Amino acid sequence: MLIYGAGEAGVQTASALAVSRQFVLFGFIDDDRAKIGGTINGLDIMGPEDVESAVERMGITDILLAIPSMDRGGRNAIIGRLRDLPVHVRTLPGMADLASGRTTVHDFQELDVEDLLGRAPVAPNPHLLARNLAGKVVLVTGAGGSIGSELCRQIVLERPCQLVLVEHNEFGLYAIHHELVTLCADHGLEVELLPLLASVGNHGRMREICELYRPATVYHAAAYKHVPLVECNPSEGVMNNVFGTLTAARVAMETGVSLFVLVSTDKAVRPTNVMGATKRVAEMVLQAMSDSPVVAFPIPGEASEQEVSNQTLFAMVRFGNVLGSSGSVVPLFRKQIRLGGPVTVTHKEVTRYFMTIPEAAQLVLQAGAMAHGGDVFVLDMGSPVKIVDLARRMVKLSGLTVRDESNPDGDIEISVTGLRPGEKLYEELLIGNSPGGTEHERIMKAHEDFVPWAKLMPILAEMRQAALDNNQEKMKSLLRTLVQGYAPELAGVPANVVPIESRKAGRV
């Protein structure tokens, strides 16, 4: 092993290595010209330009980054230089844990997702973060999910008086509640945490919760988000994503919630899949409700109509893929590399926008603070990344080589499996053009058309009935009527999966 960093962290790491006897340390690397040529405990300190020859000469297999004080840009530059060397690049755990002996070489970490992306997060604006949170009652739906749980972690740090966790999955609710209790204890936060099992589609239950706790701010993260699964279960996707949002928004209006923020997705833009189309309709529901000073509820066909005066600010925040989420490619690729491959990508040309979960959650909270009503915020996701390039990068940084036609003796094959149901090659963030700026450099404001509530309501009534009847053709026809660019004919269904409505219709 070589240690990159000849400072205090590097010295402490060398001591840990000596105790473990798992690695033979051959030397240090440092960018500081004053240190190069010196020694630490008899081991040479070399410059970055000497690393390639040292790897070959000494048979180095691993390089450990011991540079905790370096900024993201500096780390990315170093990783870029090491990427093509046949070494496994890893990074240190927290220095406090290493120094105390609680962490050993067993805990050396794979490079985190920011290192793989090469994207430097922007520090949050503390005033925007606290604006709708500090001292308030805040409710998060889908609190146990990837985004919902990170929203909860960020929210408790802003010291609301109560945080209401709404989640349909029992274990997900248990896990985030337990984690937040520990987080509050560690930081001395006096936040009342209320874990509540509920479905966002249950109007009575949601109204009971909001009437009892009176949240000032709601973040609606509950949704079905896995594209192929929703493609095979379109009725559930419509009921949860469209009518779950409608129910939650309706209850927010009825109980005087000040701000309601929908977590949306880039897949809502010109979608080829049911999931993206339902998320765009969910956006349109909030746009239409925000545009109407008095909204008639419920949609025709449910019960007697009721008019509700709208005092709630509605906003939507649209962004791309989050790395490290339950459906992210990064943990999948790591597992596949660990098992010897192959690493699977669906198409060589698939590109995606990526962002880390903490950064996405912080930007959602800050965007909501800038809402004026009916806003569609779009997060600056940086440059799109080719999935196959990400796979190659991860293989190389694991100290392995890609097996392909030019290198048939390589370690890990990258296998192309074909696009999944409803999957697009490229995702977009805007339907229209020329987004406006905001007071945050990575948050833009889109200008998207929508259908007024009076015209939208009867279409929603038809869509709800089609979902209840499991009428897939009717649902997709109505989605196409509402959603600009929706092209269900481009979406497929796995050959071994037949939706229940097709079975009912005898079209198996």
Catalytic (active-site) positions: 267
Distance CA 394, CA 386 (A): 13
Geometric angle at alpha carbon 507, from 502 and 508, rounded to 5°: 85
Half-sphere exposure for 347 (CA within 13 Å, toward CB): 12
Which string of DSSP letters, residue by residue, matches 263-314? Answer: EEEGGGSS-SSHHHHHHHHHHHHHHHHHH-SEEEES-TTSSS-EEEE---EE
Q: How many CB atoms lie within 10 A of CB 447?
A: 12
Tokens matching residue 479: 């989605």
Please give the order of strands across the beta sheet that includes 2-4. 39-40, 43-46, 27-29, 2-4, 62-65, 88-91, 109-110
Half-sphere exposure for 20 (CA within 13 Å, toward CB): 18
Calculate the CA dihedral of residues 30, 33, 38, 41 and round it to 10 degrees: -30
Pairing of strands 88-91, 109-110: antiparallel
Q: Within the chain, how many helices (H) and strands (E) appear?
A: 19, 25
By the 8 A CB rule, do 271 and 280 touch? yes
Amino acid identity of residue 500, one-letter, is: I
Closest CA to 244 of 36, 467, 84: 467
Look at the block and give the residue holding tokens 């509820």. 297
Look at the block and give the residue holding tokens 């390089």. 63
In angstroms, how far apart are the furthest CA atoms of the chain? 84
Closest CA to 212 of 164, 253, 140: 164
Distance CA 377, CA 317 (A): 5
Distance CA 8, CA 359 (A): 29
By the 8 A CB rule, do 348 and 355 touch? no
Distance CA 323, CA 345 (A): 16
According to DSSP, residue 100 is labeled: H
Closest CA to 458 of 481, 429, 431: 481
